[in-house]
Copies of this chain bind each other. A is one copy, B any other.
């Protein structure tokens, strides 16, 4: 039914191989033939069959994005949307298609990625998260498939990675609060098995101890990247005999939860509690009050992840000295939620 290379060949009075060469701009095709063939292709409405091409070229010009298990449970959705926007934009620019894939648990994830990569349906993968001891990472690593990790791996140091310097970012956020006179600063963390949670916690600790401030264990609470976690953390902190005056919060979405809780309890932000969080999703400047947030360039992160992945796919033989770790710069966006200075003693 569909018009094939042979139909074109017959109509143009040449062989299929010639048509194929016209398609790939082979140098040894006369301009005359080339034009004639192209005219016929146009006339017949010919479109190359991508599957057939992939079969012989062993390359698909597409990559897949692995969504974290239940996409709704991790991070804030806007974060992923931004990431995916960046990835798709860059990939399309490089002539690649993007395939979305997810699994409901680690086993399914692994099956999906195995099917896609072993089945030669995609040329590489992007992982949107970095967990500790991730079996998917191990799988990709062992099979030597091209892939990019957004975040960093603790086990392998020689894999492609696009990341924020989360330790530094958290250090900056904390220092910002300290510079406003805050000394009792709490930290609302994410799931402990996510590398990002750890890194941000480390930055916070470093900033505190560099400033000679003590970190009380009850000032650190763990949760998910969800509003509910923020809500819970908030009520925990506000019930403490000695409340913190400021919070570093691991994700904007969590901050929204904190904010909602404070509002319900009639606390005022930033007067009663200052907040700084991470990611600077498009909504963080929209909340009341607007939240100070570390802009980590989510779109840029995705864009770069796609870029380095595709580069590595195309250079797999060259294996030049390609940098493995890419750090996207971050920037603190100071907004109303952290603009209350306290004077101590």
A-side interface residues, number (CB < 8 Å)? 50
Taking the complex as formed, is A47 at the interface, i.e. its CB lies under 8 A from any CB of chain B?
Answer: yes
Across the interface, which residues of B come within 8 angstroms of A51, CB to CB? 51, 54-55, 60, 120-121
A29-37, A282-290, A327-335 - the one binding chain B: A282-290
Q: Smallest distance from the beta carbon of A226 to chain B beta carbons, Å?
A: 10
Whether B81 contacts A114 by the Cβ 8 Å rule is: no
Taking the complex as formed, is A97 at the interface, i.e. its CB lies under 8 A from any CB of chain B?
Answer: yes
Q: A78-B78, A256-B286, A288-B288 known; A97 and B101 CB under 8 Å? A: yes
Across the interface, which residues of B come within 8 angstroms of A82, CB to CB? 77
A84-92, A124-132, A157-165, A215-223 - the one binding chain B: A84-92
Whether A102 contacts B77 by the Cβ 8 Å rule is: no
Copies in the complex: 2
Contact with B along A54-73 (1 / 0, CB 8 A): 11000010100001000110
Q: Smallest distance from the beta carbon of A281 to chain B beta carbons, Å?
A: 9
Residues 106 to 153 of chain A near chain B (Cβ within 8 Å): 112, 114-116, 118-121
Given A72-B85, A80-B81, A97-B99: 20 more A-B contacts, CB < 8 Å: A2-B118, A45-B118, A47-B115, A47-B118, A50-B120, A51-B54, A51-B55, A51-B120, A71-B88, A77-B81, A77-B85, A77-B282, A78-B78, A88-B102, A89-B102, A92-B102, A97-B101, A227-B286, A287-B287, A287-B288
